[in-house]
Amino acid sequence: MASHQLLIRANYIRPAGAGVYTFMPLGYRVIRKIWGIMAEEMDAISGQEMWMPNLHPAALWQATGRWGQMDVLFKLKGSGNREYALSATHEEIVVDLALRDIESHRDLPRMIYHISKKFRDEPRPRGGLIRLREFIMKDAYTLDRSEEALDEYYPSMLQAYFNIFDRCGVKTTAINADVGAMGGKTSQEFTVPHPQGEDVFIDCDNCDYAANVEAAEFVREGEKPATLAELIKVETPDCKTIADVAAFVGVATTQTLKCVFYWWRPSYVEKPGEGRLVFAMTRGDLAINDTKLVNALGGGFLRAATEDEIKAIDAVPGYASAIGMTPARDMASPGVMIVADESINFGGNYVVGANEDPYHYTGANLGRDFEVSRIADIAQADTGHKCPVCGGRIEAKRAIEVGHCFKLGTRYSAAVNATYLDENGQPQLIYMGSYGIGLDRLMAVVVELHHDKDGIVWPDSVAPYQVHLVHIGKEGDGTKEQAEALYADLTAAGVEVLYDDRDGVGAGVKFKDADLMGIPWRVTVSARSLEQGGVEVKRRSESERRILPIEEYPILLNPALLNS
């Protein structure tokens, strides 16, 4: 990605390993600018900054049930065989603090935040600072007396997030999203459309409906047939895909069923080898969304089933269907757990596998020819589908997630019985919210949105310095003395100045480096500029250069005045 290339070339960051980076002096200054903006916006909505540990005793995660649920958790053992986790997030710390410190309704509400390191064992770090194993995050947490109080405060946090992103020069869209391993009631994800983004979100072309693809709904279209066809087995040689089968039989893909086997480990099962086979089914024109399927199953982990696991239930990989299978009534009962998407009710006379190579059935119908364990929304919304709000058409777009807000509700307080005494002296569970922004990722997104062919173009608000002072001259021509005097004056006045005083380096190299670094203003002191009566001033985002007379030097003490 452009941000990855430019931040390394301009010496803002240096890789230490996959997903692990050192922030060099320039890069750390940008992080501190973003940090300051976040702290100001959190303080403005009654936040109190604090500092929480990065080494968490395993007992805290076991108490909330997430020790075996979060697959990116770094786990380690200390002396005495004590188990710990590196901080992937801090809900466990906050709810433990609430359990210890919150006693009555007078102690609520509270909003706390911290900016600290996080560690996640990401299987595929990518995009430089976009997806990391070690990263810096602003976490905020709210503690409230009721769901209504949480709902009332929540918009304040959303607005604070918009303020943060706007001040950093990043335009975002807030969309509905899946709560994932965080749990809770609902969540909003802040996204930035980007062709290389790893997130996909759904956007309606007719109304303001937008949602992450993992949570996006859409209207299934189609009708049940007026007459049920006869179930017939037909040979389908060399048909390896849904499209091949549909074309061979002579039907649309909407008249086929797509069947995928998964191995599912429920969230309450800690041993990776334990679990059961799940048979997921959707109409042939749709794709199964793994996150939706996990949610339909009640949480846990999915992986693709192996051929041996599929054959163990007498199914044939590539030619399987629910015909002849006994669906499980619930998670604990015998049989095959068959989960079908809602789309199965919007069609019929389907073409399905015959559990025999190379044969399929035509004319298959739910209820008459096969049964399922449950029907749920497990299909992925995509471009061209019908909007669930207005009936318009939706479009799938790639994006980068830059922030996430969660209404956790009582998901964590109930796990550890974190309560407060209400006005009547009765214990009530505390309602929580969790709100996060990755600083390193936001830094990268700023560069993705603010760069050109020559390098970075930092917005003033997060630039490492305000002025890039460049000296070009020879010994004895008076330019160096003039540059150093200007540097001293600017620095004394509180202007942040990066001074390029390298000897033996040509003007072209210095200007090229200045463009690469992207500091908002470049001020050049040279023999030519002094002959013209001043210093050369150039805005990084503009091509115009102008001479600022020496008598107008005080303007440089407030670079914002240069815009006028």
Specify the DSSP class assigned to residue 411.
T
* Structure letter (DSSP) for residue 195: T
Q: Of the CATH numbers 3.40.250.10, 3.30.930.10, 3.20.20.70, 1.10.150.120, which one belongs to the domain with range 2-54+87-217+395-447?
A: 3.30.930.10
Q: Which two tokens stand for residue 35?
A: 């940090």
pLDDT at 265: 84
* pLDDT tens series, the chain, 564 aa: 999 999 999 999 999 999 999 999 999 999 999 999 999 999 999 999 999 999 999 999 999 989 988 889 999 999 999 999 999 999 999 999 999 999 999 999 999 999 999 999 998 898 999 999 999 999 999 999 999 999 999 999 999 999 999 999 999 988 887 766 555 667 899 999 999 888 899 999 899 898 889 889 999 999 999 999 999 999 999 898 999 999 999 999 999 999 999 999 887 766 666 788 999 999 999 999 999 999 899 888 889 999 999 998 889 988 999 999 999 987 778 888 999 999 999 999 999 999 999 999 999 999 999 999 999 999 999 999 999 999 999 999 999 999 999 999 999 999 999 999 999 999 999 999 999 999 999 999 999 999 999 999 999 999 999 999 999 998 888 899 999 999 998 999 889 999 999 988 999 999 999 999 999 999 999 999 999 989 999 999 999 999 988 777 777 766 666 665
Q: Please name every residue paired with 456 in a beta bridge, in sequence order, or none if there are none.
A: 451
Contact criterion met (CB below 8 Å) for 199 and 329: no
Residue 296: predicted pLDDT: 92
pLDDT score recorded for residue 78: 93
2-54+87-217+395-447 shares its CATH topology with 465-563? no
- Domain 232-376 class, CATH top level: alpha beta
pTM for the model stands at: 0.86
Give the start-end residues of each E strand in 374-520: 374-376, 394-409, 419-421, 427-429, 431-438, 451-452, 455-456, 467-472, 497-500
The pLDDT, as a whole number, for residue 360 is: 96
Whole-number pLDDT of residue 140: 97
The CA distance from 428 to 105, in Å, is: 9
Type of residue found at 86 = L
- What residues does each domain of the chain span? 2-54+87-217+395-447, 232-376, 465-563
Strands 173-176 vs 186-193: parallel, antiparallel or unpaired: antiparallel
Query: Which residues have C-beta within 8 Å of that of residue 372, sequence separation ≥ 6?
Result: 281, 322, 327, 338, 339, 340, 344, 366
Among residues 315, 304, 314, 380, the alpha carbon closest in space to that of 352 is found at 315
Which CATH code of 1.10.1200.10, 3.30.1330.60, 3.90.550.10, 3.40.50.800 fits the domain covering 465-563? 3.40.50.800
Q: What is the DSSP string of 528-558?
A: HHHHTTEEEEEETT---EEEEEGGGGGGGGS
